[in-house]
Structures are given as C-alpha cells and as structure tokens.
Amino acid sequence: MMSFKAGFIAVVGPPNVGKSTLINELIGYKLSITSHRPQTTRHRICAICSTDDYQMVFVDTPGIHIENYKAINSYMNREASSSIRDVDIILWLVESNKWGKQDERVLEHISQVDVPVILCVNKIDKLKSEQNILPFLAKISQKYKATATFPLSAFKKRDTKKLKQLILKYLPKQDIIFDPNSTTDKNDKFIVAEFIREKLMRHLKNELPYDITVGIEQYELKNNIWHIAARIYVDKESQKSIVIGNKGQMLKLIGTEARKGIENFLQKKIFLQLWVKIKPGWSNNKKTLSSLGYD
C-alpha cells in the first residue's frame, strides 16, 4: 500500500504579505527573492522539498493585485490565478488584523477551487498578544470557511515545522513528482537573474524597481568559474544614470551583493558583469515581455 505523499501547494495572497519568505523557510534555503516592496515576485516558481516520505512542491506566486494598467501587471495576475488551478493544497496568506480590496480579490479566486485551504495569518509578531487575533479570524470565517487556520510569523522562523506537519495531513498519497534532487522547476539562469533583480528592488527607491528587469546574456563555466553577463533593462535615460550611480557606485554595490547570493546558490565562484540598457515601454509591450521571459 502506497504511503508516500506528494503534491503541489500554491502559496497565494496579496502583494508583500510574506509568501516568498515563508516558502524559503519551509524548504530550508533561499530560492525565492524577497524585499519589502510589493510585487517583488513576478513569476510562478516551484520550490521543491523532498524527503524519503514526501515531496512538497510549493508554488510561489506573484501577489494578486488590483492594479492592472500595464501588460506586466496582467501577466503577474495571470500567473497568480493560474497557479491556484490544478494544485492539491492552497496556503492562503493574510496579514494579521489587515483586510483590504486585494484580500477580497484573492478570496474570489480561492472560492472557485475545491481543494483544502489552510489560512495562514502572517506577521503575528506585530501583535501584543496572539489573543488579539481572534476577532480578525472570526471576521474572515464569516467570509470563507478555511479547512484549517494557522497563525505564524514567517520572519521569526518559527512554526514552519508545525505548518509542514499540517500540510502533510492533507497532502495526497501519490508517486513522487520531480526528481528527489531537484530544488526548483526553473533553470539556474532564471534564478541568477532573479538574485540580481532582488538587489535592484532593495537598493533603488520610489517606483524605479518596477521599471526594471534583468536578462542573462552570458552564462558559461570556464576553469571552474561561472562567467555571467547580465543586462539590466530600464524604461528611461534618467533611470539608467540612477542604476549606475555616481561614478558607477550603485551598479558596483548591486553587483557585489548579487555575486555573493549567486555564489551561495551555485556553490562556485563567479565572475559577474552588469550593463544597463534603455528599453522604452518594455513593461507594457507583450512582445518585449515575451522575449524577456514573461510568457
């Protein structure tokens, strides 16, 4: 009789609720990029956690948001909504004592599927007492009856072991889905580009990070060193000078921090080169988005 369990677990919620941070904690290593900015995650990414007894495939999704004024926003919403279909479990993240229009939009999508839904109330570390969350949970239960409720703080690295035990309770018995040594469904070039974009999101102010994307132009192993060249695309000439910074200092900082993360991920030394190129209107052009991997 089969005892092995495996399945896809979609992690959904509004932007900036902590989905990527939680997934990194659940799998035990950094895969999904994080920042304090909404819409850091743009693509659907599978993060794979395998043991002798189970394989959990966490699907990191862009935050479902209301703003839909550019092609890239439409792309992210499609990625998020399609991730909910054909999964075995949904982890629905909400922020403690916070409910808005974007949460309502997420709820609309969740209500259309028939799988176990675990309501994860994140950022409870902001509360003076966990008892303060009870009225909030009662309010949500009037809107939707989740299969289970799990308060947690992804940032304090606690409760993730208990959460995995809860997920295992609802994970179906079936054969392994991915090779047990796999960590993600994305290739290394994709992850490398994401690590670079993470540093751009963290260091650049205002709306600039949302007008930026990264493309890998060289990815080659020579003498046991990865030689990587990446081009950073911006929308305007003024943005290019900001990314480069005074005497190239900003670009140098981003390259230095990105290199450390990439080396840790690839477990090899890397030689990283970064360039900045103006590509007007890239985020609102479907053809350009497709050429940059948004398809």
Write the Ramachandran bin of 51: left for phi over 0, alpha for psi from -120 to 50, otherwise beta: beta
Question: What's the whole-number mean pLDDT along residues 204-225?
Answer: 86
Note the pLDDT of residue 1: 47
β-bridge pairing 89-95 and 117-122: parallel
Residue 51 pLDDT greater than 90, yes or no = yes
Question: What pLDDT is stored for residue 158 in this prediction?
Answer: 66
Predicted confidence at residue 286, as pLDDT, reads 83
Reference 251, options 191, 187, 200, 212; nearest CA is 200
Q: What are phi and psi of 239, to 5 degrees?
A: -70, -35
235-262: average pLDDT = 93
Mean pLDDT on 139-159:
83
- What average pLDDT score do residues 52-58 get? 96
Which sequence spans correspond to the domains of the chain? 5-170, 188-291
Phi, psi of 68 (to 5 degrees): -145, 40
Nearest to 212 by CA among 4, 89, 37, 8: 37
Give the tokens for residue 17: 């609720």
Tokens of 96: 């403690």
The predicted structure's pLDDT at residue 163: 93
User: Same topology for domains 5-170 and 188-291, yes or no?
Assistant: no
Q: Is the pLDDT of residue 200 over 80?
A: yes
Contacts 24+ apart (CB under 8 A), 104-108: 105/14, 105/64, 105/65, 105/66, 106/12, 106/13, 106/14, 106/64, 107/143, 107/144
Q: Are 188 and 160 in contact (CB under 8 A)?
A: no
Rounded to two decimals, what is the model's pTM? 0.84
Whether residue 273 is predicted with pLDDT greater than 90 in this model: the reply is yes
The average pLDDT across 140-166 equals: 85
β-partners of residue 58 are 9, 47
CA 223: distance to chain centroid? Answer: 33
Least confident of 28-42, 155-169, 247-261, 263-277: 28-42
Q: How far apart are CA 200 and CA 196, in angstroms?
A: 7
Report, as an integer, the average pLDDT of 66-74: 67
pLDDT tens figures, 5-49:
999 999 998 888 888 888 888 998 888 867 666 667 677 788 999
Determine what percent of the chain is predicted with pLDDT higher than 90: 48
CATH architecture of 5-170: 3-Layer(aba) Sandwich (3.40)
pLDDT > 70? residue 223? yes
pLDDT for 66: 61
| pLDDT at 259 > cutoff 70 | yes
Alpha carbon distance 260, 199 (integer Å): 11
For the ranges 30-39, 105-114, 182-191, 269-278, the lowest mean pLDDT is seen at 30-39
Structural contact between residues 196 and 190, judged by C-beta atoms closer than 8 angstroms: no
The beta-carbon contacts of 95-100 under 8 Å, at least 24 apart in sequence, are: 95/14, 95/17, 95/18, 95/121, 95/122, 95/123, 96/121, 96/122, 96/123, 96/124, 96/126, 96/127, 96/133, 96/136, 96/151, 97/127, 97/132, 97/133, 97/136, 99/136, 99/139, 99/140, 100/14
Tell me, what's the pLDDT at 169? 96
What is the chain's mean pLDDT, rounded? 86
Per-residue confidence (pLDDT) for residue 209, from 0 to 100: 67
First to last CA, the chain: 41
Q: What are phi and psi of 145, to 5 degrees?
A: -95, 100
Instruction: Name 220's bridge partners.
Output: 227
Q: What are the angstrom distances between the C-alpha of 247 and each of 207, 241, 273?
A: 22, 10, 16
CA dist., res. 71 & res. 178, Å (int)? 32
The answer to whether the beta carbons of residues 71 and 236 sit under 8 Å apart is no
In the chain, the DSSP E strands lie at 5-12, 45-50, 54-60, 89-95, 117-122, 148-151, 213-222, 225-234, 270-278
Q: Right CATH number for 188-291 from 2.60.120.330, 3.60.21.70, 3.30.300.20, 3.40.50.300?
A: 3.30.300.20
